[in-house]
Amino acid sequence: MKLWPYFLGAWLVLNGLNSIISLSFKYETMVMGVLALIAGILVIIRK
């Protein structure tokens, strides 16, 4: 099962919302970093 597109999509959507409507929530930077890290690792593993 390919999970990396979901993590990458979630990261892109949250990043876009953050830019457009200044979305902010508790632990925002940590959540964004973890999503980006997981997506990146899964992309590298799948290659």
What local confidence, expressed as pLDDT, does residue 1 receive? 64
pLDDT average, residue stretch 20-38: 81
pLDDT average, residue stretch 5-22: 80
Domain boundaries, the chain: 4-46
Q: Tokens 């899964």: give the residue.
A: 42
Give the Cα separation of 19 and 27 in Å (integer): 16
| Sign of the dihedral defined by the CA atoms of residues 28, 30, 33, 37, in that order | negative
Give the Cα separation of 4 and 12 in Å (integer): 12
Supply 43's token pair.
């992309």
pTM recorded for the entire structure: 0.62
Query: Does the pLDDT of residue 46 top 80, yes or no?
Result: no
